[in-house]
Structure 1
Amino acid sequence: MVERYRAEIKALNGDKLGSHPSGEADFTVDGDTLTVEITMDQTSPNTQHWMHFHGFPDGRDAQPATAAQDINHDGYVDLPETEPVSGTTMVPFNDQPEKMAIPTDTYPVSDDHGHFHYKKEVPLADIKAKFKETFNDDDLQLEKRVIYVHGIPNDVDLPETVKGTVMDYDPHTTLPIATGKIEKLN
């Protein structure tokens, strides 16, 4: 049986950034393939956008962050502030999601108008094996996950309170700009 999931992706930090990205993500599990298709509009133009699903390794139900998660009251919900409601970064939507290599430079880049479309067919056995190795469970539990789209241009002035450094990547790369709850359709 084919399983379908969808997330309506809405802006996060939009008022501070002056843009309100939106889009949708579709996930289809058909046989031994997971197809991921994400379409975004109104993101920062000509910018690489990291995308992932986040969740809790213990299977708790993750929720998208809102302005309420801005615990340091700097006006931005940064990556660490999403963790209490959304969990940890789990699976990237880059050139090889099944490898679960988060910091790469192989994520989609938006066009001059802030639009991008991402589509990837992922070998289900490979991603489940890597997921089990990383989180000790091979059940992706998509309906308990949230998707995040990250990334703003490097010339945007951010306060020093905005955190999110991952290896050599600064908050311009990791700042969440949009999020959505993944829901099962059938």
Structure 2
Amino acid sequence: MTKYQAEIVPLNDKQIGSSAHGTATFVEENDQLTITIEMFDTPANTEHWEHFHGFPDGKSAAIATEAQDANHDGFVDLMETEAVSGTTMVPFDDAPEHMDIPHDRYPVSDDKGHFSYTKVVPLPELQANFEKAFGSKDLQLDKRVVYIHGVPASLDLPESVAGMVGHFDAHVTLPIAVGKIEKVN
């Protein structure tokens, strides 16, 4: 068994009015990856896209901070995270092993901004799809970061906040929390 964990801290909290935080754990055992994420103080009653991001070349990803606000609009949007965190890799949705990212099958927070997510993923299928997308079966979890995204459509965002993915706008993709994944044992 190999275990990884991320302490998830707020991002864009001053702008969105809530300080999303929580933990993510990843346990690899017997050809399965068990993913558990628990979040608190996210925007309430909102769908939250969640993924791990990283660099396909194996470079270690870092969490984005306010320093990544390249256009100085007060928000760190999805595009601005890429310089330090890499690209979106694996979704934490109803079937992470399919690596299907833009859809509406992610967790929704309750009226207190809490949600809990647990999924047992067939590791061989995830690794095969990861290799097709990124050229390696090795997920290298300890070189990745977890992002939690999503704010209500009613939140006023400046036009400069980028993040359109398919027909999903920046309200869906705006990062609200991030954590570095580290090997526990």
The TM tier, using the shorter chain, reads: over 0.9
Matches within 5 A, 1:63-142: 63-142=62-141
- Tell me the secondary structure at the aligned position of residue 128 of structure 2: helix
String of CA shifts for 1:156-177, please: whole Å, max 9, x gaps. 0000000000010000000000
Tell me which stretches of 4 or more aligned residues in structure 1 moved more than 6 Å: none
String of CA shifts for 1:9-58, please: whole Å, max 9, x gaps. 00000011111010000000011100000000000111000000000000
Matches within 5 A, 1:134-173: 134-173=133-172
CA distance in 2, matches of 1:132, 1:21: 32
Q: Which runs of 5+ in 2 are unaligned?
A: none
> Which amino acid counterpart does residue 85 of structure 1 have in structure 2?
V
CA distance in 2, matches of 1:45, 1:145: 27
User: How far is the alpha carbon of 1:108 from its aligned partner?
Assistant: 0.2
Partner of 1:177: 176
> Which amino acid counterpart does residue 134 of structure 2 have in structure 1?
F
Q: Identity rate of aligned residues, in percent?
A: 59
- Tell me the secondary structure at the aligned position of residue 118 of structure 1: strand
CA distance in 1, matches of 2:92, 2:58: 21
CA distance in 1, matches of 2:17, 2:174: 14
User: How far is the alpha carbon of 1:67 from its aligned partner?
Assistant: 0.2
CA distance in 1, matches of 2:95, 2:4: 20
RMSD over aligned CA atoms reads 0.3
Count residues in correspondence. Answer: 185
Matches within 5 A, 1:3-42: 3-42=2-41
User: How far is the alpha carbon of 1:104 from its aligned partner?
Assistant: 1.4
Q: What is the TM-score with the length of structure 2 in the denominator?
A: 1.00
String of CA shifts for 1:84-136, please: whole Å, max 9, x gaps. 00000000000000000001111000001000000000000000000000001
Partner of 1:46: 45
- Tell me the secondary structure at the aligned position of residue 177 of structure 1: strand
- Tell me the secondary structure at the aligned position of residue 111 of structure 2: coil
CA distance in 2, matches of 1:26, 1:98: 17
- Tell me the secondary structure at the aligned position of residue 25 of structure 2: strand
Q: What is the TM-score with the length of structure 1 in the denominator?
A: 0.99
- Tell me the secondary structure at the aligned position of residue 112 of structure 2: coil
